[in-house]
C-alpha cells in the first residue's frame, strides 16, 4: 500500500514525501480513506503507530476546500496535555508545508493574547487542551458552531486526567452533524460509553500494541528493597551498569516521586531533567527540548506527562515503579525498541507489586525475566511489605530487624556512622568512577556536601548519628576530691 492509494491530495502527498515517509503505517492505511469519506472513526491505537498523521494528513486534504471564518474554527483537536497539543501543531507544520492554513494552539501556560488575535481572524485548525478551550469559550472569544470535524485524541488519558466532563461539555457546543475521530490506546467501558455517545456509525480501526510487535526490546525485572532510598540506589546502579545506554526515560507512578528522584539523581551527578504536571509550561518545554536534543540523556517522568510524546530512539526505559495499570507498562516500554532498533526496559519490583506485575505479564502474554535474584529470592528483611512505608516508621520502630542474612546488611546500615564509615569509604571511589554523567566538573566540594547530606537523607540515623552536640565537647572542670 502506498500513500498515493489513500486518496490524499497532491499537496499532502508531496509533504509526506518531503518528510521521507514512503509507506503508510497500518493505522494510516486503515483510517485515512474513511476520514476522507467523511466517516466517523474510532481508532484504537497508541503513540508510535503513526496515529497523529492518520488524522492530520486527511484533515489537510479536506481543509483544502472552504475557508475559515472569524472566530469560528473549522476543525477542533482535543489533546490531554500541552505537549501533545504542541506536537500535533508540529505535525501540521510538517505536513502542511504546501498549504496556507491557519493553525492555533490553545494550551495552558501560554498567553491568551496572540491566540485570541489568531482566532478572531479565523483558524482552520484549533488544537486545544479541554480546560483552556472552555476558558476561551467562556470569555466569548470563540464560537464552536462552525466545527466540521472534531478529533478527540488519547481519550483514555483524558479519562485518567478527569477531563471527561469538559469533553462532554465541548461536544455539546459543536454541531451535531460534525465528523468525529476518536482515538484511545485502550477501550475501558467508560471510554466505550463515550465513543458510543459521540460517534455516529463509526468505522473501528485497531492496530496492535507495540508490546506485541517490538521483539527488539529486552525486558527485565529487578528486585529491589522496600525503602525509597534502596529503590533509588538500585536505580542508580542500573543506570551506571547499563550497556549501550544512549538516553533513558525513568518512569514513576507519582509526580511527587518524579520531583524527588530528579533531585536525588542530580545530587548523585547525573545529567537529568524531569517532566511532571506541576511544572510550568516553560520548564516542561525546556526539559523536553534538552532531552530530545540529546543535551540531557536522562528524563524522569510520570505517565501522564510523558504520554504520547514523540521522542525518537530511546535506548533504555527504567520503571522506577511497577505501573498500576498494565497498559501503562506497554506505553512505557514502547518508548524504546522503536522501528526495529534494540531497546532495554528494566522494571524495579518490590513486595506489594506482585498483582500489578501479574496483570502486566498477562497483558503482554509472557513472563518477564528477572535480572539477578527474584523478589522471592531476595532476603525477606530487605523486602518492602508495601509501598510508601518510609524511614520515619523505621525510626519509630527503632530500626530493628529480625535474624537472617539480609539483616546483617540492614544492621550495618543502621549501625552508628563510625562503624559504617569504612564501608562507605570503600564504596565511594567506585561510585565516582562509575558515574557516567557528572553534571559539572569542578563541583567536587559541593558534590561532597550534597552527597553527605544525601546519605543522611537516605540512611536511617540512630540516636544523634555522627553529630556531637557542642555542649558535650565543652571541657568540664572536675572537682578534685578532698
Ligand atoms: P505518532 O504515533 O503519531 O506519535 O508517530 C510516531 C512517529 O512515527 C513520528 O515520529 C512520526 O513522524 C512517524 N511516522 C508517522 N507516519 C509515518 C510513516 N508513514 N512512516 C514512517 N514514520 C512515520
Nearest-CA residue for ligand 1 atom 1 is: 50
Supply φ then ψ for residue 383, to 5 degrees.
Answer: -85, 150
Cell digits of residue 402: 529480625
Question: What separation in Å is there between the alpha carbon of 54 and the centre of ligand 1?
Answer: 9
Atom of ligand 1 nearest to the CA of 87: 4
Cell digits of residue 477: 572542670
Look at 254 and 181; give whichever has higher pLDDT: 181
Q: Kind and range of the H or E element at 427?
A: helix 417-434
Look at 413 and 302; give whichever has higher pLDDT: 302
Contact between residue 350 and residue 209 where contact means Cβ atoms under 8 Å apart: no
Look at 404 and 195; give whichever has higher pLDDT: 195
pLDDT digits 0-9 by tens, 226-235: 788 889 999 9
Output the pLDDT for position 214: 57
Tell me which of 53, 60, 210 to substitute to probe ligand 1's pocket, judged by most ligand atoms within 8 Å of the beta carbon: 53
Candidate CATH numbers 3.30.1490.20, 1.10.8.50, 3.40.190.10, 3.40.50.300; the one for domain 217-395: 3.40.50.300
pLDDT digits 0-9 by tens, 25-60: 999 999 999 999 999 999 998 777 889 999 999 999
What is the Cα–Cα distance from 150 to 119, expressed in whole angstroms? 17
Of 263, 226, 296, the residue nearest 453 (C-alpha) = 263
What is the Cα–Cα distance from 418 to 466, expressed in whole angstroms? 7
> Ligand 1: residues whose CB is within 6 Å?
21, 23-25, 28, 47-53, 310
Question: What separation in Å is there between the alpha carbon of 310 and the centre of ligand 1?
Answer: 9
Walk across the sheet containing 103-106 and list its strands.
Answer: 103-106, 125-128, 75-78, 149-152, 179-184, 41-44, 203-206
Question: What separation in Å is there between the alpha carbon of 33 and the centre of ligand 1?
Answer: 18
Question: What separation in Å is there between the alpha carbon of 482 and the centre of ligand 1?
Answer: 93
Q: Identify the three-state secondary structure at position 139.
A: coil
Nearest-CA residue for ligand 1 atom 17 is: 50
Of 253, 390, 375, the residue nearest 321 (C-alpha) = 253
CB count in 10 Å sphere of residue 282: 10
Looking up cell 548519628 gives 465
Look at 52 and 187; give whichever has higher pLDDT: 52
Locate all alpha helices (DSSP H) within 161-271, ordered by sequence. 164-173, 189-198, 210-213, 228-241, 255-267
Output the pLDDT for position 211: 43
Question: What is the DSSP annotation of 381-418?
Answer: GGS-SSTT--HHHHHHTTT---SSHHHHHHHHHHS-HH
Question: What separation in Å is there between the alpha carbon of 207 and the centre of ligand 1?
Answer: 14
Confidence band of 253 (pLDDT split at 50, 70, 90): very high
Distance between alpha carbon 92 and the CA centroid of its chain, in Å?
A: 23
- The domain spans of the chain are 3-206, 217-395
The residues, ordered by sequence, that sit 6+ positions from 443 with a Cβ below 8 Å of its Cβ are: none
Nearest-CA residue for ligand 1 atom 12 is: 50
Contact between residue 163 and residue 80 where contact means Cβ atoms under 8 Å apart: yes
Atom of ligand 1 nearest to the CA of 28: 19
Atom of ligand 1 nearest to the CA of 48: 2
Look at 472 and 254; give whichever has higher pLDDT: 254
Question: What separation in Å is there between the alpha carbon of 450 and the centre of ligand 1?
Answer: 42
Q: Does 425 score more than 50 pLDDT?
A: no
Nearest-CA residue for ligand 1 atom 8 is: 50
Atom of ligand 1 nearest to the CA of 3: 19
Contact between residue 240 and residue 366 where contact means Cβ atoms under 8 Å apart: no
From residue 87, alpha-carbon distances to 53, 128, 149, 310 in Å are 11, 11, 19, 8
Nearest-CA residue for ligand 1 atom 21 is: 21
Cell digits of residue 359: 496483570
Atom of ligand 1 nearest to the CA of 52: 3
From residue 276, alpha-carbon distances to 76, 83, 172, 221, 270 in Å are 26, 11, 31, 25, 18
Q: Which residues pair with 182 in a beta bridge?
A: 42, 152
Provide the mean pLDDT of the chain. Answer: 79
Contact between residue 129 and residue 107 where contact means Cβ atoms under 8 Å apart: yes
- Counting beta carbons within 10 angstroms of the beta carbon of residue 454, is it exposed (0 to 12), middle (13 to 18) or buried (19 or more)? middle
Supply φ then ψ for residue 76, to 5 degrees.
Answer: -135, 130
Question: What separation in Å is there between the alpha carbon of 25 and the centre of ligand 1?
Answer: 8
Supply φ then ψ for residue 292, to 5 degrees.
Answer: -60, -40
Contact between residue 206 and residue 26 where contact means Cβ atoms under 8 Å apart: no
Q: Is the pTM of this model over 0.85?
A: no
> In CATH terms, are 3-206 and 217-395 the same topology?
yes
Question: What separation in Å is there between the alpha carbon of 26 and the centre of ligand 1?
Answer: 11
- Counting beta carbons within 10 angstroms of the beta carbon of residue 8, is it exposed (0 to 12), middle (13 to 18) or buried (19 or more)? buried
pLDDT digits 0-9 by tens, 268-307: 999 999 988 778 778 888 998 899 899 999 999 988 777 7
Nearest-CA residue for ligand 1 atom 19 is: 24
Of 192, 214, 219, 182, the residue nearest 45 (C-alpha) = 182
Percentage of the chain lying above the pLDDT 70 cut = 74
Domain with residues 3-206, CATH architecture: 3-Layer(aba) Sandwich (3.40)
Amino acid at each position: 500500500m502506498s500513500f498515493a492509494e489513500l486518496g490524499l491530495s497532491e499537496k499532502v502527498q508531496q509533504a509526506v514525501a518531503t518528510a521521507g515517509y514512503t509507506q503508510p503505517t497500518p493505522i494510516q492505511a486503515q483510517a485515512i480513506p474513511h476520514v476522507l469519506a467523511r466517516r466517523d472513526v474510532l481508532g484504537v491505537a497508541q503513540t508510535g503507530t503513526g496515529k497523529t498523521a492518520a488524522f492530520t494528513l486527511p484533515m489537510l486534504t479536506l481543509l483544502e476546500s472552504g475557508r475559515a471564518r472569524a472566530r469560528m474554527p473549522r476543525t477542533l483537536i482535543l489533546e490531554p496535555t500541552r505537549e501533545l497539543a504542541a506536537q500535533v501543531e508540529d505535525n501540521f507544520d510538517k505536513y502542511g508545508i504546501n498549504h496556507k492554513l491557519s493553525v492555533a494552539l490553545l494550551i495552558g501556560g501560554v498567553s491568551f493574547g496572540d491566540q485570541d488575535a489568531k482566532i478572531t481572524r479565523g483558524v482552520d485548525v484549533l488544537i486545544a487542551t479541554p480546560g483552556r478551550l472552555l476558558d476561551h469559550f467562556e470569555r466569548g472569544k470563540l464560537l464552536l458552531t462552525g466545527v466540521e470535524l472534531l478529533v478527540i485524541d488519547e481519550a483514555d488519558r483524558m479519562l485518567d486526567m478527569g477531563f471527561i466532563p469538559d469533553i462532554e461539555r465541548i461536544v455539546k457546543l459543536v454541531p451535531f452533524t460534525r465528523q468525529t475521530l476518536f482515538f484511545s490506546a485502550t477501550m475501558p467501558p467508560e471510554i466505550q460509553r463515550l465513543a458510543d455517545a459521540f460517534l455516529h456509525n463509526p468505522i473501528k480501526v485497531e492496530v496492535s500494541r507495540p508490546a506485541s510487535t517490538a521483539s527488539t526490546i529486552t525486558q527485565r525485572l529487578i528486585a529491589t528493597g522496600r525503602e525509597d532510598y534502596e529503590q533509588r540506589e538500585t536505580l542508580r546502579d542500573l543506570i551506571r551498569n547499563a550497556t549501550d545506554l544512549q538516553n533513558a526515560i525513568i518512569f514513576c507512578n507519582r509526580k511527587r516521586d518524579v520531583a524527588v528522584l530528579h533531585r536525588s539523581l542530580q545530587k548523585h551527578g547525573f545529567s537529568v531533567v524531569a517532566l511532571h504536571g506541576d511544572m510550568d509550561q516553560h520548564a516542561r518545554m525546556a526539559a523536553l527540548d534538552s532531552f530530545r536534543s540529546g543535551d540531557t540523556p536522562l528524563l524522569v517522568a510520570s505517565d501522564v506527562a510523558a504520554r504520547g510524546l514523540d521522542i525518537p530512539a530511546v535506548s533504555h526505559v527504567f520503571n522506577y515503579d511497577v505501573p498500576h495499570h498494565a497498559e501503562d507498562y506497554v506505553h512505557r516500554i514502547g518508548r524504546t525498541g522503536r522501528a526495529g532498533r534494540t531497546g532495554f526496559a528494566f522494571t524495579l519490583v518490590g513486595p506489594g507489586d506482585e498483582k500489578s506485575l501479574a496483570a502486566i505479564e498477562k497483558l503482554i502474554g509472557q513472563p518477564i525475566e528477572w535480572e539477578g535474584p527474584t523478589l522471592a529470592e531476595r532476603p525477606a528483611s530487605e523486602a518492602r511489605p508495601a509501598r510508601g512505608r518510609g524511614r520515619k516508621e523505621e525510626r519509630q520502630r527503632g530500626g530493628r530487624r529480625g535474624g537472617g542474612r539480609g539483616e546483617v546488611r540492614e544492621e550495618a546500615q543502621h549501625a552508628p556512622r563510625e562503624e559504617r564509615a569504612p564501608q562507605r569509604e570503600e564504596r565511594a571511589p567506585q561510585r565516582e568512577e562509575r558515574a557516567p554523567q557528572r553534571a559539572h566538573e569542578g563541583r567536587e566540594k559541593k558534590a561532597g556536601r550534597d552527597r553527605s547530606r544525601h546519605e543522611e537523607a537516605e540512611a536511617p540515623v540512630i540516636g544523634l548519628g555522627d553529630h556531637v552536640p557542642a555542649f558535650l565537647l565543652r571541657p568540664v572542670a572536675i572537682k578534685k576530691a578532698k
